[in-house]
Chains A and B, each alone.
Chain A
Amino acid sequence: MKRFKILSLLCISIFIFGNMANAQKKVPKTDNTEPKSVLVPSSNEILLALKKAGKIKWGSLVTYNKTSNYKGRKKQALNLGVRVADAFVAIFDHDDSNFGYMNNTIFSISESLGISGTIKPYHEKIKKLKAKNDWLDITLELDEMNITLQREMEVKGNSDIVLLSSIGGFFEGINIVSRYFSTNYNAKKVGILKQVHLVDHFVKQLDKKAKLKKDPTVKKVYNGLIALQKIYKGDKKLSQKSVKKINAKTKEIINLITKS
């Protein structure tokens, strides 16, 4: 009990002195410095925003492609992002079999990319959670696996793989959301689709990587991003017609990425 009191006093002192120091710090009320980097959201973040927008029949919005034998690291990376997004959809839908397929496809692609070592502990844990139908923990594990993988790849200098995987996940996320709003148009909620800054960021990143952009698939994906930029610029409010255009373009890109 005495120890607890001492500990409490210590913590309160830390809190008080911390706040005193805090009061002395000068904080600028405005800061117009332009950040050099953009924090890319996980595909689940975009899909969760759609989930909160209404009751969604997820199964009708996604094609669970089970192909995993892609040639070339660029295509493998793009497909990794797509399958992670699809796995999140299967989680939302509590679709046991398709989630299992996506989890195995993610692992197979990661083996081809030579990064299965990082994914394996998550892959095994997710399998166990799946047996218990613990969908919440599966979501959290999958998100953590995705970001941890990207973080480790970045540290190891595989920034191309991280970028392409993010772009693949982005296209699949926007493809699913735009498919929903193409038939369930809601002017107040289509804002989720308006990822102008993220698209600009991807375009800028690819512009810096001339060698990467020469790859035929990456080149078409890049053109897809440019097409999205044009749609966003032409219709800032995103009418149903524009939403359908976004869906047509993202569907075309996803078909290109997932074709073996």
Chain B
Amino acid sequence: MKKILITIIFVSLFVPMKSQSVYSKVVRYMRNNGGYSLSTAKYGYINKGEKFYNYKTFSAGLEYAIVAYSENQNVDVDLYLYDYDGYLKLKDTGSGEWALLNFSTWEQMRMKIVVKNYSYYGNAKCEVLIFYR
């Protein structure tokens, strides 16, 4: 049920609006609905089936939310979180132009965040945003 609600709310973020970018809407949404602060943002251009890799050191005791999205609604964005040794810890491979993972740790950990353009034929701009609280 929670996932359905998140889906409905998140889909609405991607409805085009002239005044606000998807980036602004996602940041505002995370802030207003979970008190999350934005830690960092990074974008990359990804071809079909390709991935965009980033390292991130997560601090102990903080709760994180990782959002990956593309402003191109034809892109199916998938998001994976691997540990430092390369083992998969979390994934969001649902259909759609955004993906979301929640993560927290009790010791400082370096993880690998992987964003994939699953289905779109073309060089799609995908952005990953890391939130914390």
A residues with CB within 8 A of B: 11-12, 14-15, 17-19, 21-22, 25, 27-42, 44-46, 48-49, 52-53, 136, 139-140, 143-144, 147-148, 150-151, 191-192, 194-195, 197-198, 201
Q: Most B CB atoms within 10 A — which of A15, A44, A53, A194?
A: A15
Residues of chain A within 8 A of B60, CB atoms compared: 49, 191-192
Assuming A18-B94, A30-B87, A39-B42, is B31 touching A46 (CB within 8 A)?
Answer: no
**Which of B8, B78, B93, B130 has a CB less than 8 Å from the CB of A39?**
B130
Q: How far is the CA of A4 from the CA of B39 in the complex (A)?
A: 37
Residues of chain B within 8 A of A42, CB atoms compared: 37-40
Residue of A nearest to B133 (CB): A48
Question: Chain B contact residues: over half helix, strand or loop, or mixed?
Answer: strand
Q: Can you report 27 A-B residue pairs in the complex whose CB atoms are below 8 A from each other?
A: A14-B11, A15-B4, A18-B94, A22-B95, A27-B93, A28-B88, A31-B82, A31-B86, A31-B88, A31-B114, A32-B86, A33-B51, A33-B112, A33-B114, A35-B54, A35-B112, A38-B54, A39-B42, A39-B54, A42-B37, A45-B132, A48-B59, A191-B107, A191-B108, A192-B108, A197-B57, A198-B57
B59 & A39 in contact (Cβ 8 Å cutoff)? no
**Which of A29, A35, A37, A151 has a CB less than 8 Å from the CB of B87?**
A29
